[in-house]
Amino acid sequence: MLKKIAFTIVALFIILIAAATAVPIFFKKKIESKIKSSINNSVNAKVDFKGMDLSLITSFPSLGIKINNLTIIGMDLFAKDTLANVKQFQLNVNLLSVFKGDTYEIKSIKLDEPSIFAHVLKSGKANWDIMKPDSVSKTTDTSKTAFKVALQKYEIENGKIVYDDASLGFFMELDSLNHVGSGDFTQDLFTLKTQSDIQKLTVKYGGIPYLNRVKLDADLPINIDMKNMKFTFAENKIKLNELILSAVGYLAMPNSKDMVMDFKFDAKQSELKNFLSLIPAIYTYNFKDMQATGKFAINGTAKGTYNDKSLPAFNVNLAIENGTIKYRTLPSAINNIQVKSQIINSDGIIDHTVVNVPAFHLEFGNAPVDGRLLLKNPTSDPFIDMALKGKLDLKQLTTIFPMKDMTLSGILDADVQAVGRKSSIDKGKYEDFKASGQMLASNFNYAGKNVPMPVSVPTAKMIFSPKNITLSNLVAKVGKSDFAASGSLNNYLSYFFKKNQSLRGNFNMSSNLIDVNELMGSKSTVDQAANKSKSDTKLSIFEVPGNIDFTVTAKAGRVLYDTYDITNAQGALLVKNKTITFKDMGMNMLDGALKMNGSYTTLDLKKPKVDVNFDIEKMDIQKAFTSFNTVKLLAPVAKYTKGKFSTNLKFDSDLDEHMMPVYSSINAEGLTNIVQAVVNGFEPLNRLASSLGSDKFKRLELNNVITKFKIKDGRLNVSPFDVKKDGIVMNVQGSNGLDQTMDYNLGLNLPRAMLGAKANETANAMIAKLNNKVGTNVSISETIKVNAVLAGTFLKPTINLKYGAGDTKTLVKDVINSTIADKKAEMQTRVQAKIDTVKADATEKVKDAINDKLNNFFKKKN
């Protein structure tokens, strides 16, 4: 009997295991098909997943459905938004509903490593609004859907959720989120028990970070009334870093537009240290070694309706009494901290919000700092009443706060106050806005291991008035660079109170040395600038601020920029609309003088542009080749040229991420005067000399050679120009490109004696061949025309020589003309000889006739 019972149990166990294994296999295709059809029929989004697994054993008595690598990507305005990316999405479904086959009841949901991005545009359109219009009505009738929510538990493991609402200026990020919620969602009234653990919680509103990467632990039970959509928060505990809060009240959503709330919150533990834990810089650095005493209190309420037109009324109070902050290992402390502040809004109209800090006081050691702040009507016509007064010895801060590997010293003395309304500034009635005071800095020094470069300010003074802030006596040194400046900020109040206002200013600045490479974070040093050939400097894009409008008159004895060592730089800089405009800038560099007017703009930070007119006078060619990559690529002949040049150049180009020209985008044209130069060792000239059989062409001397040029589409085009020397006349024209290819025509007119034997033999053979054809015997003159076509590349040039101006027809014409001239001369000789013979014969006949006549005459006389 026992054997039968055991056998029966084993058999049942085997059957159950077999069923648990077979059921998922049997229903997998059917369930996967229903999931896909439900998704496609319901949403306007790109939904994809990489396979699906079914399990009965791990989720018994439910059927576990695991969807792997689920992604949901928006469409239209949100085509670049990934709404969800879930490593694994698990549904536990009622097994009986699976056997019935019509509707599957979802009992629990788990999301493993989900990344969710909820995005709302300024227009209010949300990226999660992906349900098709016809599917919304269908979901109200659960009998017609493939899935029915009978939820009892949901879970998120190691998730990241971002909510970015541009319409409200609200941002929240939950990083490393673990959350569990359990309750019977099938009931109209039930309690949802939630547990949350967030490693990094960030909350921003209006660009202000109220919580920044704060750790949160919360046990929050919520009583839910599904019919009335009301959620009531029972007794709970919320821990933010070390601060423990409690929030009670309710939130209701009676319709799709309104949220009705009534909340109260306060701090359970009123210790100052717990509040300081919310300040990231303090909490993340030696927080355990900090001692803080004093009473801290924070509480508040929020009551009313939140919708597009109204806010709930709210009241937040914060107070610190008799506070002290001290680190155990340091001798001094911040003493006597007294703060009272209130943010209150009695009716939900945002313009009726009042921020009031009637007084705050603290002492850095024995140095007191006092102030106050009152802000009213923040949206319509802000009213501000503020003051700050204190004298701070910065070196004393190192005895209060732990500052490892850092040097800080100097005196800051401030006494400023301001009272008035924004409307006074808008109307230009600065006398109605009382702003006055001054800030002084003396012997300020800041350096350390984590500081890019030491900063020293021996003296600086700022004087405040309603119209401007005047800066005087500013002397500073940043790294190797030194500055002296004075000037004024002319509309700082409008800049502070108004949107889209640029801060205007005028400054005079002078310097003995400005190391731009060091200031921009490159590895270049003064020595590297002096040794340009070894410099490996790489700059990064400098973004010109878009919210300033500055005019700077500058003068610098020396400027180090990239590999350039510049002296006597002076001119004006206009900074406006993300553009720096250079006006009448002059400087000495590369043994020459340079003047420029133009601009550098970062309107498109990914594609900065430069547009400059240069006037260069007597610059060293070799140094220009070494310093300018543009010269290296487009004029490689400069490497083999020693001398000086002058040029007028109009240049514009895009710049890459290292502030270097994008060569394919360069457009430039100008006029260059090679004052005096010698070209020697240039391979195309070597090849020309070899082809002509004359070493004189290997070395080319240039004096006052003027030529026009143009750079476009990555190619240098040279207009015709003449080179004359030692009886040679050479006309040069053509182009070369970034790929080092060249296409030049050299028209030479040179003495025949300068040609080598081979070149003479080639020329004579051509003339002999023509003589045979024409039947002449013409020889080449002492001056010969040669056309040389340079092609190939600069390193591997090809030469094609053509004699007689490079045109066979022209040469034939020359031979024919020479032949005609010879025949004409021969004919003239023959005609003249005939004339002489006829003339002699005629003379003799005349003589004979005369003699006959005379003889007859005398005979008649006789």
pLDDT digits (tens, 9 = 90+) for 749-795: 888 777 666 666 666 666 666 566 655 555 556 677 889 999 999 99
* Chain position carrying tokens 């928060």: 233
Q: What confidence category does residue 461 fall into, taking pLDDT thresholds of 50, 70 and 90?
A: very high
Strand stretches in 479-622, DSSP E: 481-489, 503-511, 514-515, 548-561, 564-576, 579-589, 592-601, 609-620
**Statement: residue 438 has pLDDT above 90:** yes
Buried b (16+ CB within 10 A) or exposed e, 496-508: ebeeeebbbbebe
CA angle 260, 264, 268 (to 5 degrees): 150
**Statement: residue 539 has pLDDT above 80:** no
* Chain position carrying tokens 């937040």: 316
Least confident of 4-18, 611-625, 768-782: 4-18
Q: Is residue 216 part of a domain?
A: no
**Statement: residue 71 has pLDDT above 60:** yes
Number of domains in the chain: 5
β-pairing, 548-561 vs 514-515, is parallel
Buried b (16+ CB within 10 A) or exposed e, 548-586: bbbbbebebebbbbbbbbbeebebebebbebbbbbeebe
Three-state SS for 801-841 is EEECCCCHHHHHHHHHHHHHHHHHHHHHHHHHHHHHHHHHH
Residue range 559-571: mean pLDDT, rounded:
90
Domain end (from 372, 403, 434): 403
Q: What is d(CA 345, CA 311) in angstroms, rounded to the nearest whole number? A: 9
Q: What is d(CA 409, CA 397) in angstroms, rounded to the nearest whole number? A: 9
Torsion angle of C-alpha atoms 728, 733, 738, 739, degrees rounded to 10: -70
DSSP code for 397: H
DSSP code for 544: P
Compute the Cα dihedral for 93, 94, 95, 101 and give only its sign: negative
Q: Does residue 783 sit in the same domain as residue 743?
A: yes
Q: What is d(CA 61, CA 833) in angstroms, rounded to the nearest whole number? A: 139
Q: What is d(CA 682, CA 736) in angstroms, rounded to the nearest whole number? A: 15
Q: Is residue 231 part of a domain?
A: no
* Chain position carrying tokens 């039970």: 221
State the chain's mean pLDDT as an integer.
82
Buried b (16+ CB within 10 A) or exposed e, 749-788: bbeeebbeeebbeebeebbeebbeeeebebebeeebbbbb
**Statement: residue 512 has pLDDT above 70:** yes
Task: Please choose, from the candidates 470, 569, 458, 556, the residue with its C-alpha nearest in 3D space to the C-alpha of residue 513.
Answer: 556
DSSP per-residue codes, 683-737: HHHHHHHHHHT-GGGGEEEEEEEEEEEEEETTEEEEEEEEEEETTEEEEEEEEEE
Q: Does residue 397 sit in the same domain as residue 425?
A: no
| Segment (H or E) for 425 | helix 422-426
Task: Please choose, from the candidates 408, 404, 370, 406, the residue with its C-alpha nearest in 3D space to the C-alpha of residue 389.
Answer: 370
Structure tokens at 535: 């410099």
In this prediction, residue 598 carries a pLDDT of 95
Q: Does residue 343 sit in the same domain as residue 364?
A: yes
**Statement: residue 289 has pLDDT above 90:** no
Long-range Cβ contacts of 166-172 (<8 Å, 24+ apart): 166/119, 166/120, 166/121, 166/122, 167/120, 167/121, 167/122, 167/123, 167/124, 168/120, 168/205, 169/205, 169/206, 169/207, 170/204, 170/205, 171/202, 171/203, 171/204, 171/205, 172/201, 172/202, 172/203, 172/204
If 0-12 CB within 10 Å is exposed, 13-18 middle and 19+ buried, where does residue 106 land? buried
Q: Is residue 609 part of a domain?
A: yes
CA 296 to each of CA 256, 302, 315, 672, 730: distance values in angstroms, whole numbers, following the listed order? 39, 21, 17, 75, 91
In this prediction, residue 659 carries a pLDDT of 83
Q: What is d(CA 701, CA 692) in angstroms, rounded to the nearest whole number? A: 18
Q: What is d(CA 183, CA 222) in angstroms, rounded to the nearest whole number? A: 10
Structure tokens at 320: 């610190």
Residue range 78-87: mean pLDDT, rounded:
87
β-pairing, 548-561 vs 503-511, is parallel
CA angle 53, 54, 59 (to 5 degrees): 125
Q: Tell me the three state secondary structure of residue 493.
A: helix
Q: What confidence category does residue 23 fall into, taking pLDDT thresholds of 50, 70 and 90?
A: very low
Q: What is d(CA 607, CA 440) in angstroms, rounded to the nearest whole number? A: 40
**Statement: residue 817 has pLDDT above 80:** no
Q: What is d(CA 403, CA 396) in angstroms, rounded to the nearest whole number? A: 11
Query: What single letter denotes the amino acid at residue 820?
Result: I
* Chain position carrying tokens 């002290």: 324
In this prediction, residue 807 carries a pLDDT of 45
Q: What confidence category does residue 22 fall into, taking pLDDT thresholds of 50, 70 and 90?
A: very low
Q: Does residue 798 sit in the same domain as residue 839?
A: no
CB 82 within 8 A of CB 72: yes
Structure tokens at 583: 């006006």
Instruction: List CB contacts of 773: < 8 A, sequence separation 6 or more.
Output: none
Q: Is residue 388 part of a domain?
A: yes
| Segment (H or E) for 780 | none
DSSP code for 545: P
Please state, for a pLDDT cut of 70, what percent of the chain lies above it: 78
Q: What confidence category does residue 187 fall into, taking pLDDT thresholds of 50, 70 and 90?
A: confident
Task: Please choose, from the candidates 260, 256, 296, the residue with its C-alpha nearest in 3D space to the C-alpha of residue 276.
Answer: 296
Q: Does residue 494 sit in the same domain as residue 385?
A: no
CB 539 within 8 A of CB 658: yes
Q: Is residue 129 part of a domain?
A: no
CA 701 to each of CA 212, 454, 730, 733, 809: distance values in angstroms, whole numbers, following the listed order? 70, 51, 12, 17, 33
Three-state SS for 92-125 is EEEHHHHHHCCCEEEEEEEEEEEEEEEEECCCCC
Q: Does residue 420 sit in the same domain as residue 387?
A: no
Instruction: List CB contacts of 663: < 8 A, sequence separation 6 or more.
Output: 630, 633, 634, 653, 714, 738
Q: Is residue 177 part of a domain?
A: no
CA 536 to each of CA 558, 567, 639, 784: distance values in angstroms, whole numbers, following the listed order? 20, 22, 20, 50
Q: Does residue 515 sit in the same domain as residue 647?
A: yes
Residues in the chain: 862
In this prediction, residue 802 carries a pLDDT of 83
Q: Does residue 834 sit in the same domain as residue 734?
A: no
Q: What confidence category does residue 104 fall into, taking pLDDT thresholds of 50, 70 and 90?
A: low
In this prediction, residue 736 carries a pLDDT of 92
Q: What is d(CA 434, CA 384) in angstroms, rounded to the nearest whole number? A: 10
Strand stretches in 166-287, DSSP E: 170-182, 189-205, 208-225, 230-233, 237-240, 243-252, 259-267
Q: Is residue 94 part of a domain?
A: no
Q: What is d(CA 599, CA 585) in angstroms, rounded to the nearest whole number? A: 11
Task: List the beta bridge partners of residue 671.
Answer: 648, 708
Strand stretches in 1-97, DSSP E: 46-48, 52-55, 62-73, 82-94
Structure tokens at 459: 């003296």
Q: What is d(CA 277, CA 275) in angstroms, rounded to the nearest whole number? A: 5
Identify the residue with better confidence: 862 or 735.
Answer: 735
Q: Is residue 167 part of a domain?
A: no
Q: Does residue 419 sit in the same domain as residue 279?
A: no
Task: Please choose, from the candidates 447, 476, 445, 446, the residue with its C-alpha nearest in 3D space to the C-alpha of residue 459.
Answer: 476
CB 158 within 8 A of CB 203: no
Q: Does residue 374 sit in the same domain as residue 286?
A: yes
**Statement: residue 301 has pLDDT above 50:** yes
Residue range 129-154: mean pLDDT, rounded:
63
Residue range 11-29: mean pLDDT, rounded:
47
**Statement: residue 321 has pLDDT above 60:** yes
Please state, for a pLDDT cut of 90, what percent of the chain lies above it: 39
Q: Does residue 782 sit in the same domain as residue 835?
A: no
Q: Does residue 393 sit in the same domain as residue 432?
A: no
CB 472 within 8 A of CB 463: yes
Boundaries of domain holding 858: 820-862
- On the question of a cis peptide bond just before residue 368, with omega within 30 degrees of 0, the verdict is no
Q: Give 218-229 pLDDT, tens digit per residue.
A: 988 999 998 888
